[in-house]
Amino acid sequence: MKRREFFKASVAIGVSALTFNKLSAALSSNEIAVEATPDMVAVMGGAPAEMLQRALKEMGGIGKYVKKGQSVVIKPNIGWDKKPDFAANTNPDLVNELVKQCLRAGAKKVTVFDHTCDNWQKCYANSGIKAAVEAAGGNIVPANDESYYKTTTLPQGVKLKSTKIHQALLDADVWFNVPVLKHHGGANMSIAMKNYMGIVWDRPYFHNNDLQQCIADICTWQKKPVLNIVDAYRCMRKNGPQGRSVSDTSLLKAVIISPNIVAVDTAAVGLFNQVEKMDINVVEHIANGEKLKLGTQKLDTLKVKRIKL
């Protein structure tokens, strides 16, 4: 994919050419004038760690989000017993770098977990994430038993009014939501909002009670991630969420980060559209999230910084 296509993708919703042109023009003018911290940063063209370093720098530095002595949770996608080149899970190099950054900022501890779909030990090992976390000085913990979870209410939820959330996240001072960009057979896309399903115990409830609405509902939980960091170094463009072979993936070499979860998912769908067509309107949880005031799909109202390495 050409670099200029990335810049289009990082701001386009992926509908008509007219819509793209309006968004592109608006965001180009924003980029020139940005002095304060951007609402979103999109970086392309480097290795995962390198792109994350630059993106965090542009967002004000890791010290803006992690303070000395804090307990930090990083929530990647580690749901599947797949090697990194399948793009079923978050890139381990990106997770490794984020753990290092948090510890350098003075975090007391950095904990990583996911409620996996396949055997948790195999997922943690074969994804490369367990080794990456431990090499960086972090702590990776299991999430395969109901005893790790505590019931939490969701007053703003439409279909999901309460759910059990992992205790590590309940105890954390701050957390980072770090999904991989991929196709999903049920939700159509799995990005930042969908990644929340790995923090809860009862995932079948989502599938049996309006998956798209429940994904939006869980994102109303009052403890929001300080940043949503979308790993689009390699994306799974079809046969998600597991993928059948490496041929289901595309190398995009991109990272998109923002505290605005609806906006970051909107931009990520636009990027995805450069390799596989996906109508954002069928990714209903994004619009549902906007209705719940979790963020905006109107990217032309945001300050977006776009960088090529």
Percent of all residues in the chain with a pLDDT value above 90, rounded to a whole number? 88
DSSP three-state, residue 298: coil
In a domain, 83, yes or no: yes
Asked if the structure places residue 30 within a domain, the reply is no
Give domain status of residue 32, yes or no: no
**CATH, residue 151:** 3.40.50
Stretches in the chain below the pLDDT threshold 70: 1-35
**Has residue 220 been placed in a domain?**
yes
Q: What pLDDT shows up at residue 12?
A: 40
Residue 31 within any structural domain of the chain: no
Domain that holds residue 154: 3-25+38-308
Give the count of domains, the chain.
1
In a domain, 279, yes or no: yes
Q: Residue 35's pLDDT is what?
A: 58
Name the pairing type of β-strands 162-166 and 149-153: antiparallel
pLDDT for the residue numbered 93? 98
Query: How many Cα atoms within 13 Å fall on the side-chain side of residue 277?
Result: 2
Alpha helices, DSSP H, located in the chain: 3-9, 17-33, 48-58, 92-104, 120-126, 129-136, 167-171, 203-208, 211-218, 261-272, 284-291
Note the pLDDT tens digit of each residue in 170-200.
999 999 999 999 999 999 999 999 999 999 9
Structural domain includes residue 231: yes
Position 6 scores a pLDDT of 47
Nearest to 40, CA basis, from 232, 286, 308, 306: 306
> Which pLDDT score is estimated for 36?
83
CA gyration radius, the chain: 18
Domain contains 250: yes
pLDDT in tens, 114-141: 999 999 999 999 999 999 999 999 999 9
